[in-house]
Structure 1
Amino acid sequence: MALSPAKIAVTFSVVFTFCLCSLEASDGGFSVELIHRDSPRSPLYNPAETPTQRLRKSLARTIARANSLSQTAAATGSAPFSTITSNAGSYLMNISIGTPPFQILGIADTGSDLIWTQCEPCNDCFEQVAPLFDPQKSSTYRDVSCTSSTCSSLDGTNCGGNTCQYSYSYGDQSYTRGDVAVETVTLSSTSGRPVAFPRTIIGCGHDNGGTFDNKTSGIIGLGGGSVSLISQMGQATGSKFAYCLVPLTAEAKGEKSSQLSFGSRAEVTGSGTVSTPLVPKSPETFYFLTLEAISVGRNRIEFGGSAGSASEGNIIIDSGTTLTLLPDDFYSQIESALTNQIELQPVDNPPVPDLPLCYRTKTDNINAPVLTAHFTGADVKLGPLNTFIRLDENNLCFAFAPIPTSVGAKAIYGNIAQVNFLVGYDIRKKAVSFKPIDCTKF
């Protein structure tokens, strides 16, 4: 899902002259549902699995994704290659493409850009339960010509007849290949009124395979690159989006889904709101912030060892990664400060290696100190839901972890730390804002 930073198969070096227009988007903004893959609302939900089994699988996806994000951020070269595993995202999203609208369910991913779905005719596709999109049945589908300036500006494309074609490979050996096209993308807003974006660039995949789940159709790229859904909405939404992630307990009960908002609905203002700069870095797909320190209670621990030593853009904020992952030396200092302030004794052998700090307790209230993430210009105070997760009825574990040695020191601010915050991205102003809020009531 995330793409190679230097040369991305569908990265654009020109400014497109067409404009995505939406009367509803410019008339107050709108919101759509984000469905956690482990929610009963999700088609990926397996009722036979226990909460512990689901969490263990989520942690395995987190480590795989962290490895991929860090490799991608450090990669060079011209190949259109994405090292992100193809099925590692935490949230799903329904969109419709074509005229008349044809609904697809895709993995919503802030770590990738291209919107793509399996299409008829499918020469070699992964098994999909839902029908495949047939571009011949859409009156608004248009292949991008090989001779167009759009196609010539793309890296790693090739021509099939007169049609511009793309090819993505993923780190788990999954792949998608197909035609670059423009098509109407429609989102079903929570107000009940659909919001349409004509002439959106998509990938129409005719040759796809690997580890994709048969209940999904493709990937919905929400990254910062020019071909992502976020960037293509641009003018119509004021280049603003926000999400409010509900606690996993609420998702598990099917009580409420998280929301992704655009335009004026994505404005984050009011009491408690803090903002930090988005740092422009390569690859442009990722959203980089600067984390200066983390406080454990009153003990401030500097990221980099001393005040002012944190490098700009040293952490990726990512909705698809479950845990917050930190370089080993920085994590160790935080864990030490935390255990010194909690009366309970940590378990000697944590039940899950990816969660090194766990306490054997049936209560969620262990009188842990408040953790504060000090981003540049923004102090984000984290509640118990953001810092501890229940692995099973006997084990409560710290929702931060050290980055595996094989990954390298690329920190990731995961989605548990973002639960019950309205997190807003203003691409024009290059800022991310946080506002504490009960997302079950948003």
Structure 2
Amino acid sequence: MHTSLFLVLAATFSGLVVRSVIGVKASTGFSVDLIHRDSPTSPFYNGSLTSSEILRKNALHSMDRLKHFQSLIEQNAIQSPVIPSGGIYLMKLSFGTPPVEYLAIADTGSDLVWIQCVPCPQCYNQESPLFDPQASSTYQKIPCGSDSCQALPRKQCTDTNDCQYLYSYGDKSFTVGTLSTDTLSFDSSDGQKTAFPTSIFGCGHNNQGSFRSPSAGLVGLGGGPLSLVSQISTQIDNRFSYCLVPRSASSTSKLLFGQEAIISRPGAVSTPLITKNPPTFYLLSLEGVSIGDKTAQAGSSQGNIVIDSGTTLTLLESTFYNNLESIVKEAIGADPVQDPDGTFSLCYGAGTNINVPEMVFHFSGADLHLQPVNTFRTNGDLLCMLIVPSDSISIFGNYAQINFQVEYDLQKQTVSFAPTDCTQQ
């Protein structure tokens, strides 16, 4: 992993602890490798699975993720919608002093940073040793009355005034532990460790459900106050971006912060970032999707689609989807083939001579031209559209974002897209 990070001190931002830079200029920014869960470089990689099996597995995770986004938005709750086993990208980071390195899921759809800690009578098995707070000279527990503790969706005070959290997930998975601070550090490109002292994270002592090794926890990159992005917001110029490589690429994707996150190439388009409750989610306004001179209209609702790096497929509200599917069928002209598993709504025989059309997603103020790699994929003997209907909210998934640099400017409240060969980042 090639990363560069800042040294930081405590300051105050949005009622929480954030950091100011020591020794490294904030303007330089930093980058982190993102390892796709199913790539050969991933510890999750299962060489016995075919590409079709992997695609179907990820598609099912997309459906599950949709349900949790919907339930949390409807409840106006501030908690993580992530199904841990459905996390797509992994990143390396170290906790404590001296630093101990772990792999964790990087996710734009959740906030809390947490890791498994000792003592842990109810932890899932992981290959690396559990993090031991007593072995770290910089570990501290956060008091119950702090603003950080109050930002949790569920918390309680211990007899010693420590902040205990419960973070539950839609599939009944959960993590329970102590809200804490310690140094989070990353490997820089020159082989040195640079660090964020007093970073807020959950020290999980009871973690159950669909979590699995080798991931030792999660790194929340959402818009809520406890996320890593929010904690270091002022030090990264309120911006981050990522560039997702195609599934066939041997290189890793990149997660960029600060000045490195800025899109400098031509062809970028920007759309407003809509803020609603819960603040975790990054919402955009999608007006329609065009193929040639035909357009499927999405309606006039602001913030009607979640942009999410952890959902594989793009899911569109069913009426909107049906209109788009009709336009796709007309543009392709061939007879569709039913997916026997029912995972995908529109498929064609892989041996059929099909010209996949360019789709233009019309976000507010930004027309995004999606190529075939973003919208169709071979699934065994089928060629299937990576867009499916949703009976609730819409999600702009990570296949649709491949080979775009996607920049989140939290100061200007915009999301920008630039066509990019992400394998060259």
User: What TM-score does the superposition give when structure 2 sets the normalisation length?
Assistant: 0.93
Residues paired across the two proteins, number: 413
Partner of 1:9: none
Matches within 5 A, 1:162-241: 162=160, 163-190=162-189, 192-241=191-240
Question: Does 1:278 pair with 2:267?
Answer: no
1:1-400 mapped onto 2 (5 Å cutoff):
15-16=15-16, 18-21=18-21, 23-24=23-24, 26-76=26-76, 82-148=80-146, 150-151=148-149, 154-162=152-160, 163-190=162-189, 192-250=191-249, 255-304=250-299, 310-347=300-337, 349-362=338-351, 366-392=354-380, 394-400=381-387
**TM-score under structure 1 normalisation?**
0.89
- 2 CA distance for matches of 1:18 and 1:421? 29
CA distance in 1, matches of 2:303, 2:190: 36
Q: Deviations over 1:104-137 (max 9, x none)?
A: 1111111110000000111211111111111111
Preserved CA contact (<8 Å) 2:222 2:282: yes
* Structure ranking higher in strand proportion: 2
Following TM superposition, by how much is the alpha carbon of 1:153 offset from its aligned partner in structure 2, in angstroms?
5.8
Aligned in 2, Cα 1:337/1:22: closer, same or farther, shift over 3 Å? farther
For structure 2, the 5+ residue unaligned runs are 1-11
Q: Determine what percentage of the aligned residue pairs are the same residue.
A: 45
Residue 30 (structure 1) shift: 1.5
Displaced runs of 4+ in structure 1, greater than 6 A?
none
Q: Residues 360 and 337 from structure 1, CA distance in 2 versus in 1: closer, same or farther, beyond 3 angstroms? A: same
Distance 1:316 1:87 in 2: 20
- Tell me the distance in 2 between the aligned counterparts of 1:318 and 1:350: 25
CA distance in 2, matches of 1:168, 1:402: 29
1:3 corresponds to: none
Give the Cα separation in 1 of the matches to 2:150 and 2:333.
63
Cα contact 1:244–1:423 (8 A) shared by 2: yes
> Which amino acid is 1:391 matched to?
N
> Does the CA contact (< 8 Å) of 1:20 and 1:232 recur in 2?
no
Contact 1:68–1:84, Cα closer than 8 Å, also in 2: yes
1:374-428 residue CA offsets vs partner (Å, 9 max, x unmatched) = 1111110001101111112x2111110101x3xx2x1100000000000000111
Note the residue ranges of structure 1 that are not aligned, 5 or more in a row.
Answer: 1-11, 305-309
